[in-house]
Amino acid sequence: MNNEPKRTSFMRYSRVNEILRSDNALSRRLSKKTVAVCKPDQTSEDFPVEVVFVTDEIHKQGIDAYTMPKIEVIRMAHRLLVANPQPIPAIVAPPAPQPKAKAAQAKKPVAAKAAKPDKPKVRRRTPAPKAPATADPRPAAVEPPKTGGKTEDRSPPPAPLKMPPEYVRPFVPYVPGCAMLSNLQAVLTLLEPYVAAGDADAKEVCQKVNELIDDIHRRTVLPSAKEEPTTTAG
């Protein structure tokens, strides 16, 4: 199982908050101390520190709080807040997603070239006729050096053959794999407002995208890897 921390977002904090508030024992553990979490539209919403703490702990174990079963979220929250309560460390508000700049850069006006002042005309003297050349101006041909009675070959050596890649299907090269994962992650970010609004179709699409992300991540390998590393297992 991949222990790399998953990316947290407003949609995941919101789901954990709803689950903890629906449980009687856990809802009494939620304090009035809150942390502001930024929404995709650059506004924010306050969540209890216990909600943020439980969500972060889930993602530290490499699990997605959005697709984690509800009963598993409740069990982990009971362990962290009820069965074995610990002091909650200082929590920093998650960073806001940075939207891509859409405005095009304004074209800089091209400065007009300054007019050059007219140079005064200078009368040139007519050159005297040159004497006819008596010797052949062409340089003598130089014979190429000979080695052992044969002309030396100065042609460039042939280019070395390129080795074929060391990975085959169904593995995915590292750079295309990263590009695929980045694009699929952008799909999740764009669908978050619809899921937060209760759109069931958007929620189903997000779940399928998360499964596709895990599938591609398991098959992505470095170009120099001879076999699939164990760290790519999802």
Domain parsing of the chain, residue ranges: 10-83, 172-232
Task: Determine whether 149 is exposed, middle or buried from the number of CB atoms within 10 Å of its CB (0-12, 13-18, 19+).
Answer: exposed
pLDDT value of residue 150: 59
pLDDT value of residue 181: 84
Strand partners, 147: 150
Q: How many CB atoms lie within 10 A of CB 166?
A: 13
Write the pLDDT tens digit of every residue in 98-136. Answer: 555 444 444 455 554 555 656 666 666 666 666 665 555
Write the pLDDT tens digit of every residue in 41-79. Answer: 889 899 999 999 999 999 998 899 899 999 999 999 898
The mean predicted confidence, pLDDT, of the chain is 75
In the three-class reduction of DSSP (H, G, I as helix; E, B as strand; rest coil), residue 91 is classed as coil
Per the document, the length of the chain is: 234
Residue 230 has pLDDT above 80, yes or no: no
Rounded Cα gap, residues 153 and 139, in angstroms: 23
List the helix and strand counts (H, then E) for the chain: 6, 6
Provide mean pLDDT across the span 18-26.
91
Residue 155 has pLDDT above 80, yes or no: no
Indicate whether this model's pTM tops 0.75.
Answer: no
Residue 232 has pLDDT above 70, yes or no: no
pLDDT value of residue 106: 44
Rounded Cα gap, residues 126 and 120, in angstroms: 19
Residue 38 has pLDDT above 80, yes or no: yes
Rounded Cα gap, residues 102 and 40, in angstroms: 16
Rounded Cα gap, residues 191 and 200, in angstroms: 11
pLDDT value of residue 14: 92
Higher per-residue confidence, 74 vs 6: 74
- Phi then psi for 77, rounded to 5 degrees? -65, -40
Higher per-residue confidence, 88 vs 138: 88
Task: Determine whether 144 is exposed, middle or buried from the number of CB atoms within 10 Å of its CB (0-12, 13-18, 19+).
Answer: exposed
